[in-house]
Amino acid sequence: MAAGSRAYGDTIARSLGLKDMPALRTRSLTGAQIGITRVSCSAAEAGMTPGVPAEDTFIVALYLTALPHHELWSRGRKAFSQGYRQNAMRIVNLEAEYSALITAAHETIYFYIPRASLDGFAAEAGLPRIANLACEPGLVDPVVANISAALLPAFRAPEQTSTLFLDQMALALCAHAAGRYGANELPRTLLRGRLTLRTERIAKEFMAARLADDVSIADVAAACGLSRGHFLRAFKTTTGTTPHQWLQAYRVERAKALLLDPASSLAEVALKCGFADQSHLTRVFAKITGKPPGAWRREYQGSANPPPF
């Protein structure tokens, strides 16, 4: 994961009167970053929170659990008041200082989208500047809910989470928010297109040569001479998988080859293939092949007919 100039998770936690919360940050355009924070509030922490300082930033909040009643205050006045069911969302522009009234225990994921990130996305996608993001509070958006659900394992094991994956999630959220909540329809040319055979080869060779590196979508797209959004969509259209999924599968195939060597420990195989540690290798390997690497090795090591890879 990329390091950020502002510890956004800590800022949100302090504004809610909580200890530090788990936060993820992804690289983005123009040097700004998109922050993603999971916040857990207990009933003991009910009450009015300190204000979140005003800045040119949008917050997309997704409620992982239902919250029967919630109030948002600005400049000493109640901005709005309502409850949220599970997977409901709201968008807030932090142009003014806000505080919230916590009334019950709940869990939320906050997406922190600085103006610079949104402007950079629009410029790269060939869209007009997105003046505002807004939605009806309490809306259930399956796309935002699915992105949030996909990110939950990253909060449990951030050391096993790649920048490539976080970039994909951030780009997906920006594209969806811009198209649905920013009054900007994405051009059809951005929704179609495939990689040429040459560009597909460049992308795969670039990632394969950097198994131990934490490459980003921007890195691979630049090697292909494409914008991040165009590359991400075209790669999935061409291969049927995202770059992150392709790289995980490639790492597993490399691991299989190394596992056939009895001199290589699982920890060594994990590091050589770009996994964070042995447990990371085991989790991804089992997910893709249906069995942990140790069991796979015992089954095929020394076999005259190991499975093709």
Tell me how many domains the chain contains: 3
Handedness of CA 151, 153, 157, 163 (dihedral sign): negative
Judge whether 1 lies within some domain.
no
Whose CA is closest to 6, among 29, 30, 34, 45? 34
Looking at the structure, do residues 38 and 134 belong to the same domain, yes or no? Answer: yes
Residue 118, domain CATH: 2.60.120.10
**pLDDT interval class at 16 (50, 70, 90):** low
Domain residues for 200?
188-240
Judge whether 72 lies within some domain.
yes
Percent of the chain surpassing pLDDT 70: 85
Whether the pLDDT of residue 122 is over 70: the answer is yes
Looking at the structure, do residues 200 and 145 belong to the same domain, yes or no? Answer: no
Which pLDDT tens digit goes with each residue over 252-277?
999 999 999 889 999 999 999 999 99
pLDDT score of 77: 87
β-strand pairing of 47-48 with 23-27 = unpaired
In this structure, what DSSP letter does residue 50 have?
Answer: P
pTM of the model: 0.78
